[in-house]
Amino acid sequence: DPATAHISVHLLIPGWTWTGLMGNVGPTDEKDVVNKPAGAWYPSQVADYCARALEKGSFYIVCPDGETDAALDQARMRWGSDDVIEGRPALSRWEASWKDQAAKWIEEEAAKRRAS
């Protein structure tokens, strides 16, 4: 429909984004924030990443952060979706009876993804 051809939908998963809502008093410039955890991204980094993904036409926009690379994120997502497919408990990677197996599989899967 020409009336809606300019509309698109995308899913942004911002990851670990430091907005400063907890700990800062009122709006601040990012350069003034002193208590941001080292691994977290600033909102402007998320916005830049999102803009680049939109330019590429991505639907799923999964932002990395300073601690977790895309390969590890993808391996964790695969394990989580396999919880449904394999009939495991929800969020099984945090459950004591699955934790070790999940950690081993996720690390192996992430390594494969990094190598390819």
Cβ contact 76:67 at 8 Å = no
Q: Is the pLDDT at 43 greater than 70, yes or no? A: yes
Q: What is the torsional sign of CA 81, 14, 104, 112? A: positive
Q: What pLDDT, on the 0 to 100 scale, is given for residue 49?
A: 97
Cβ contact 58:10 at 8 Å = yes
Secondary structure (3-state) at 13 = strand
How far is it, in rounded angstroms, from Cα 7 to Cα 75?
Answer: 31
What are the beta bridge partners of residue 62? 13
Cβ contact 66:39 at 8 Å = yes
pLDDT per position as a tens digit, 78-94: 999 999 999 999 999 99
Q: What pLDDT, on the 0 to 100 scale, is given for residue 24?
A: 59
Segment 21-27 mean pLDDT? 64
* Tokens (6 digits) for 70: 């895309």
Secondary structure (3-state) at 14 = coil
